[in-house]
């Protein structure tokens, strides 16, 4: 069960999906575009806004792991409550020696900041993948990335004085 909890968290990290959207994910939400790209296309539960997320290989592997046939669309899992899932993530963090609190929504933040924005994915694209109603919501993540850049560079500034 801890492995399943870890995999739900990682799926959030690699898709930007919120807990409620992972819980509601269906095989029919996974589509293969004419160019062969596999995507998740769904309406966010919170806002009803359409979201499209091309599947990174790590996300594909997680879905295949829980597939009955080896196809990403055939995944089968039972998603526990958000409270139980977050409790399990805290236990995983403790066992792994991670002193930062782990919770499902952190996976969504990680996708927005570490996986996409930090690697040059444009804000508008990230906004569409996250299913935000306005770009202003996504800009909050961009500020987090900017402050991290400043903080990280501040750590080495003394080396170049």
Between vectors from CA 79 to CA 16 and to CA 102, what angle results, nearest 5°? 55
Asked if residue 47 has pLDDT above 90, the reply is: no
Report the pLDDT value the prediction gives residue 31, as an integer from 0 to 100: 95
Q: What is the pLDDT of residues 107-152, one digit of tens each?
A: 999 999 999 998 889 999 999 999 998 899 898 888 888 887 888 8
Confidence class for position 16, pLDDT limits 50, 70, 90: very high
| Cβ proximity of 116 and 100 under 8 Å | no
Sheet with 30-32: strands ordered across: 30-32, 38-43, 50-54
Lowest mean pLDDT among 92-101, 118-127, 149-158: 149-158
25-36 mean pLDDT: 94
């Amino acid at each position: 069960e801890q492995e399943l909890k870890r995999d739900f968290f990682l799926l959030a990290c690699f898709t930007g999906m919120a807990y409620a959207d992972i819980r509601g994910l269906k095989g029919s939400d996974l589509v293969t575009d004419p160019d062969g790209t596999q995507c998740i296309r769904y309406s966010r539960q919170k806002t009803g806004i359409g979201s499209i997320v091309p599947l990174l290989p790590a996300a594909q592997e997680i879905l295949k792991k829980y597939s009955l046939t080896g196809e990403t669309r055939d995944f089968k899992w039972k998603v526990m409550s958000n409270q139980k899932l977050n409790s399990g993530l805290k236990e995983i963090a403790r066992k792994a020696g991670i002193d930062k609190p782990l919770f499902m929504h952190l996976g969504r933040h990680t996708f927005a900041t570490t996986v996409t924005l930090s690697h040059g994915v444009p804000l508008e694209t990230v906004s569409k993948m996250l299913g935000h109603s306005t770009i202003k919501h996504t800009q909050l993540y961009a500020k987090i990335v900017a402050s991290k850049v400043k903080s990280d560079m501040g750590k080495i500034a003394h080396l170049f004085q």
